[in-house]
């Protein structure tokens, strides 16, 4: 047993900027820290709820906002490590801790005395002379109680408590099943003939992965840097089919990691919670708190975009099929392979041509440099800041006037125990302390980029650079926050607004001026040739119809799962096929399933919210049009975007913030024009 005095969470950190002491934190420290933090929070809540003084904004709403600081620290440390560098021990801890966290949350939101105080203040909100931000905090606090069952009767409260606890465990189980199932697949090629078509960089990475596992040959798995190039370049169609079916069978093998029954339970519990709250379905329950407001507006967006993009996607499919010279039909495991060859044929550009110009350390400098050009901020590596894995790098971030802004952690490469995909999170959000001191944020961006090999540094694909810019946009949203309250700070905004700061950053990668900065040959130091830039830009809208239709299919799938009005006991695979059929371009493959590995929906907070990527794409295209008009590095437009969007978090209604920046309501026109759908 670890004594409390030896637990690093219970002592002053004595680290640069009060960062988490990852060099001292061990897995066995987490559970005792959670227990102590939860107990401390419950004492704080009891004090607020039972305060003999009349309920006021400061002694109730602000006191509630500032409670649970130890729990915030422990939770952010634990879950960031769990997602980025997990072990069986960490997973077991998460299973034990999750019910405790659910119970703690329910003990707050179902506390009748506490809610009584909150409601009393909320009912007089228009007479309290609150600032815009304070009023927003009051409204969001009341909304949080409302969403969490505070207005239910005693029986309803107990039902909500039970359902929410079960749901949190199921979300965790879904994620862990998917991770374990994905991690156990690997395919070793020992016959070089089977590598036909694969570029040297992909072969080198496969050799390095094999050696790391003590094997001879070329090893492939389902991580992005391994799977995607294999599907794009491998001539062996049988192996491409095998890899595709493995990828689309994660969580769908009928064994201990199968997620189909987990999905049924999750969607049914979500439906039950929605009904308990008086809603028809889970989408209605969730969407009332977003920019979209209701499912009708979501479906209008999805269908309007589908009407515009699907005919283009069908024409693109036909073109690829014709290029494949009679291969009918083009199956999903053929699509990337032939689409890539057609792209090379039409535009003389592919990842292997551009990869030498996107070396990771130089790309990092260029992405950081873009933030310097736009917002004046600078980055300085600090090796003294403890990190949770040797591959993580920590930076100090400073504003133009030299003021400290944030700590930024970067974690770039795939490894065992790391979730797939890419994400941004915070180790600590920005807020103002009780004495007015600005407590600055600590932000992390996590990727799964191509690893360096024995002969080459990490050379990124164009898509990987795009992902970098996307997650860095989220990071800017966190780092530039200037709010008073942590719960309204940075990326703590509605799901259909949170992708605007990330997706707008992707636009710079389609601009010649920025490509000329970021793309430098890793060996010669020469800038990318103008002809290759032209080819890249000419190919920017290649298969835009297909890519949009694919995203819309995910949005339709999400909405289908979360607009059910009766408990679901059917065939998960059949449900998926029917749900996204209107947006499907490629032939369906019997038995394959995406839902069983779709963590965004079943473990990642995007339930009834995946449409937000397209919603925000409309916003980002419209917003970037302002940069295009004034110049893509224009400091005045950047200042306005920072002041009205990036720094504000959720301190005001996002529609108000957007209009203040743009001066107009957004339309889909800018997106259609950017993608070449509308001239």
DSSP string computed for 293-352: -SHHHHHHHHHHHHHHHHHHHHHHHHHHHHHTTS-SS--HHHHHHHHHHHHHHHHS--HH
Cis omega before residue 329 (within 30°)?
yes
Positive or negative: CA dihedral 286, 601, 473, 144: positive
Residue 327 pLDDT grade (very low, low, confident, very high; cuts 50, 70, 90):
confident
Phi, psi (degrees; rounded to nearest 5) at 329: -80, 165
Tens-digit pLDDT profile for residues 513-564: 999 999 999 999 999 999 999 999 999 999 999 999 999 999 999 999 999 9
Are 211 and 291 within one domain?
no
Are 490 and 624 within one domain?
yes
Active site includes 471? Answer: yes
User: CB neighbours (10 Å) of residue 679?
Assistant: 5
Residue 274 counted as domain residue: yes
**Angle, alpha carbons 272-276-277 (nearest 5°):** 120
Cα of 394 vs its chain's centroid, Å: 20
Tens-digit pLDDT profile for residues 6-45: 999 999 999 999 999 999 999 999 999 999 999 999 999 9
Contact 116, 51 (CB under 8 A): no
Number of domains in the chain: 4
Are 646 and 524 within one domain?
yes
Report the CATH number that the domain containing residue 638 is assigned in CATH.
1.10.1370.40
Q: From CA 636, how far away is CA 257, in angstroms rounded?
A: 52
Are 452 and 486 within one domain?
yes
**Exposed e or buried b per residue across 542-561, where buried means at least 16 C-beta atoms within 10 angstroms of its C-beta:** bbbbbebbbbbbbbbbbbbb
Residue 638 pLDDT grade (very low, low, confident, very high; cuts 50, 70, 90):
very high
Are 402 and 471 within one domain?
yes
Residue 450 counted as domain residue: yes
Q: What is the pLDDT of residue 5?
A: 75
Domain that holds residue 202: 185-247
Residue 534: strand, helix, or coil:
helix
Tens-digit pLDDT profile for residues 144-195: 999 999 999 999 999 999 999 999 999 999 999 999 999 999 999 999 999 9
What is the pTM for the complete model shown? 0.96
Q: From CA 418, how far away is CA 449, in angstroms rounded?
A: 12
Q: What is the pLDDT of residue 3?
A: 59
Among 147, 167, 193, the domain boundary falls at: 147
Are 239 and 115 within one domain?
no
42, 464, 471, 511: the active-site residue: 471
Q: What is the pLDDT of residue 1?
A: 47
Are 579 and 657 within one domain?
no
Question: Under 8 Å CB-to-CB from 624, ≥6 apart: which residues?
Answer: 504, 507, 670, 674
């Amino acid at each position: 047993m670890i004594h409390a005095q030896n637990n690093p969470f219970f002592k002053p950190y004595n680290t640069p900027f009060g960062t988490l002491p990852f060099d001292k934190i061990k897995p066995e420290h987490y559970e005792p820290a959670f227990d102590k933090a939860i107990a401390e929070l419950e004492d704080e809540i009891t004090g607020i709820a039972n305060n003999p003084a009349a309920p006021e904004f400061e002694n109730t709403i602000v006191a509630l906002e500032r409670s649970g600081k130890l729990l915030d620290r422990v939770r952010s440390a634990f879950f960031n490590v769990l997602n980025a560098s997990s072990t069986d021990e960490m997973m077991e801890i998460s299973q034990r801790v999750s019910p405790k966290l659910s119970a703690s949350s329910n003990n707050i939101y179902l506390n009748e005395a506490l809610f009584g105080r909150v409601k009393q203040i909320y009912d007089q909100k228009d007479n309290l002379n609150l600032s815009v931000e304070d009023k927003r905090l009051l409204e969001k606090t009341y909304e949080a109680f409302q969403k969490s069952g505070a207005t239910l009767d005693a029986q309803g409260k107990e039902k909500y408590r039970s359902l929410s606890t079960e749901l949190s465990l199921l979300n965790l189980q879904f994620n862990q099943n998917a991770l374990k199932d994905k991690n156990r697949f690997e395919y070793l090629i020992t016959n070089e003939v089977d590598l036909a078509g694969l570029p040297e960089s992909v072969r080198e990475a496969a050799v390095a992965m094999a050696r790391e596992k003590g094997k001879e040959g070329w090893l492939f798995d389902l991580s992005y840097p391994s799977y995607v190039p294999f599907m794009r370049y491998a001539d062996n169609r049988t192996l491409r089919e095998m890899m595709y079916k493995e990828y689309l069978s994660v969580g769908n093998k009928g064994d201990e990691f199968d997620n189909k029954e987990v999905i049924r339970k999750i969607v049914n519990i979500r439906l039950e919670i929605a009904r308990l709250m008086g809603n028809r379905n889970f989408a209605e329950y969730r969407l009332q708190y977003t920019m979209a407001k209701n499912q009708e507006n979501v479906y209008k967006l999805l269908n309007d975009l589908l009407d515009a993009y699907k005919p283009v996607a069908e024409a693109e499919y036909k073109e690829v099929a014709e290029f494949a010279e009679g291969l009918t039909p083009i199956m999903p495991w053929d699509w990337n392979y032939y689409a890539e060859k057609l792209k090379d044929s039409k535009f003389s550009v592919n990842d292997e041509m551009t990869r030498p110009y996107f070396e990771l350390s130089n790309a990092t400098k260029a992405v950081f440099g873009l933030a310097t050009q736009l917002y004046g901020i600078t980055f300085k590596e600090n090796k003294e800041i403890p990190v949770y894995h040797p591959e993580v790098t920590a930076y100090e971030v400073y504003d133009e006037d030299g003021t400290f802004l944030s700590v930024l952690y970067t974690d770039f490469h795939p490894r065992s125990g790391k979730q797939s995909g890419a994400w941004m999170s915070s180790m600590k959000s920005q807020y103002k302390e009780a004495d007015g001191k600005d407590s600055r944020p600590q932000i992390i961006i996590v990727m799964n980029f191509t690893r360096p090999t024995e002969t080459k540094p990490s050379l990124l694909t164009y898509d990987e650079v795009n992902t970098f810019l996307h997650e860095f946009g989220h990071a800017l949203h966190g780092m530039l926050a200037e709010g008073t309250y942590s719960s309204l700070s940075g990326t703590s905004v509605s799901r259909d607004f949170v992708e605007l700061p990330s997706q707008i950053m992707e636009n710079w990668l389609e601009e010649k001026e920025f490509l000329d900065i970021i793309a430098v040959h890793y060996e010669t130091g020469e800038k990318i040739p103008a002809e290759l830039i032209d080819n890249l830009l000419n190919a920017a809208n290649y298969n835009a119809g297909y890519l949009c239709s694919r995203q819309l299919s995910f949005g339709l799938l999400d909405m289908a799962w979360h607009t059910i009005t009766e408990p679901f006991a059917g065939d998960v695979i059949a449900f998926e096929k029917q749900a996204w059929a209107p947006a499907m371009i490629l032939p369906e493959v019997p038995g394959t399933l995406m839902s069983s590995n779709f963590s965004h929906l079943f473990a990642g907070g995007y339930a009834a919210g995946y449409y937000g990527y397209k919603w925000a794409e409309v916003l980002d295209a419209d917003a970037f049009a302002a940069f295009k008009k004034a110049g893509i590095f224009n400091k005045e437009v950047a200042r306005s975007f920072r002041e009205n969007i990036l720094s504000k978090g959720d301190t005001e209604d996002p529609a108000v913030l957007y209009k203040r920046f743009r001066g107009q309501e957004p339309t889909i026109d800018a997106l259609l024009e950017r993608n070449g759908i509308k001239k």
